[in-house]
Structure 1
Amino acid sequence: MNETTTAARVLGVLGGMGPLASAQFMVRLTLLTPAERDQDHIPAVLWSDPRVPDRTAARLAGGEDPLPWLVRGLRGLEAAGCGAVAIPCNTAHGWYDAMRAATRLPILHIVDAAAAELRRQGIAGGPVGVMGTAGTLAMRLYQERLESLGYACLVPDEEEMRRLVTPGIAAVKANQVAAAYAPLAEAARALAARGARAVVLGCTEIPLGIAAGPALPFPVVDTIDALARAAIAWARGG
């Protein structure tokens, strides 16, 4: 592999949203890569900037626009010589089109990665549950993309969001990962009880909370792992 090709396969990771999810993405990128030595792994640059304004607040409550901060990170990854970008934050994908317009780098879409993971698990259609931030669900980031692929999306109701999902995400962001398990698992079980064949953990904090307790008795899609698999496929020329 020549130097030009190698440079083109450096992965940029636009992170910090939140910091723990970004760190976990790097861990999973490493563990999921087939490798026997250091040199078999994927060159990657992590831009972890937790100062990016809250994405849900920006979309639902007129909060500060995160786009200038996202573009700043993209510029840093461009300058570092990256060939593509992965963003281990679901809600940030509400600015996907604007980010694509602002950079020459391809951006791997986390919802497309989740759809590929559903197919990898043998779930090719039917009802699936989607958990995420209020911003992600309000923007219909998953609903529109997955419904176009033949999935019917079930999402938590307002009471489940208020009592279970939002507090669970907040607990992970506060480094109280163990406390996040019970509310997030309850929300996932409620979706399965309503007929979901699988539950997509469509916020990168949610898999961290779910991993803190017993495995759930139905398929789940960890969007950190899904995005890591997409990044590995890209780095290997897929």
Structure 2
Amino acid sequence: MVKTIGILGGMGPFATIDLFQKIVSNTPAKIEQDHHQIIIYNNPKIPSRMEAFNKGAKSPLQELIRSAFVLKRAGADFIIIACNSAHIWIDELRRNVTIPFYSMIENTVQHLLECNSNVSEKILLFATESTIQHQLYQNAFKGSTYKIVLPNEEEQKLVTLAINDVKTGEIHTNSYIEELNQMIETYQLEGISRIIGGCTEIPLLFPYFDTDIKLVDPTFLLAKLAIKKAIELKS
């Protein structure tokens, strides 16, 4: 029997929809029954990952664990998380829940390492302040030929505002697209070859980025991994 995918979502809801859609859209299905069983727990009541890490607000850990147990009890065989910042707590989640968690960050880095031809590349990271400060991507790339470039303080404020717009449904009407494109153009002139959408809201803005820089979508890569894991037979 094939496996059931569990999506721990709600962080935010539009990013969760994006992950679900990318799983369905990239599943090679000739008939309806070829698609995968997916259980989504869209829990937007999980406390803010950014405020917990940056401002000492309530930790999301207990609600993340509870949400994972909801998915496990519902029949999920493994869990993927539609949020990069939530991966700050992935080790605790793995210790508390017995079914596997597959990491969006580990998967993205592994994909890029497999693509790399040992040529040094500079990657611009668009992510939340908590993901950046916790060095989730920076640590994962240590020892590789990739160099992670971070926006400066003012640029990061712009990225954060754009992320918050997406969380409220402002995607094609996002107020910050023009400024983001100006920022991207500047970084392209400085030799940036890729941009990682290191917050699950950022890939939703990719269609509006006016650039030739390669755009790395961790949500898409996680969807592909979930499809692969779903067809593995249960032991």
**Fold shared by both chains (TM-score > 0.5):** yes
Compute the displacement of 1:121 (Å).
5.5
Change (3 A) 1:122 1:149: closer
Query: Hey, what's the Cα distance between the residues in 2 that align with 1:232 and 1:137?
Result: 28
Query: Hey, what's the Cα distance between the residues in 2 that align with 1:105 and 1:149?
Result: 30
Partner of 1:72: 66
Contact 1:198 1:221 in 2 (8 A): yes
Partner of 1:87: 81
Compute the displacement of 1:120 (Å).
6.5
Identity across the alignment (%):
30
Task: Count matched residues.
Answer: 230
Query: Hey, what's the Cα distance between the residues in 2 that align with 1:31 and 1:153?
Result: 30
Letter in 2 for 1:141: L
Contact 1:165 1:187 in 2 (8 A): no
Work out which of the residue numbers 195, 198, 201 in structure 2 matches 1:199.
195
Change (3 A) 1:30 1:198: same
Q: How does 1:161-172 map to 2 (within 5 A)?
A: 161-162=156-157, 164-172=158-166
Tell me the alpha carbon deviations over residues 32-54 of structure 1, each in whole angstroms, 9 at most, x when there is no partner: 11111111111110000000000
Partner of 1:220: 215
Partner of 2:177: 181
Which stretch has the larger CA shift, 228-237 or 145-154?
Answer: 145-154
Query: Hey, what's the Cα distance between the residues in 2 that align with 1:156 and 1:201?
Result: 13
Letter in 1 for 2:231: R
Change (3 A) 1:22 1:214: same
Work out which of the residue numbers 33, 56, 60 in structure 2 matches 1:39.
33
Partner of 2:149: 154
Query: Hey, what's the Cα distance between the residues in 2 that align with 1:123 and 1:53?
Result: 40
Query: Hey, what's the Cα distance between the residues in 1 that align with 2:66 and 2:199?
Result: 22
Compare relative contact order (CA 8 Å, sep 6+) and give the higher one, 1 or 2. Answer: 2
Could you tell me the TM-score, scaled by structure 2's length? 0.91
Q: Partner of 2:79: helix, strand, or coil?
A: strand
In structure 2, stretches of 5+ residues that fail to align are: none
Tell me the alpha carbon deviations over residues 184-220 of structure 1, each in whole angstroms, 9 at most, x when there is no partner: 4344444433322211110000111222x25531101
Query: Hey, what's the Cα distance between the residues in 1 that align with 2:21 and 2:117?
Result: 26
Partner of 1:107: 101
Partner of 1:135: 130
Query: Hey, what's the Cα distance between the residues in 1 that align with 2:179 and 2:102?
Result: 30
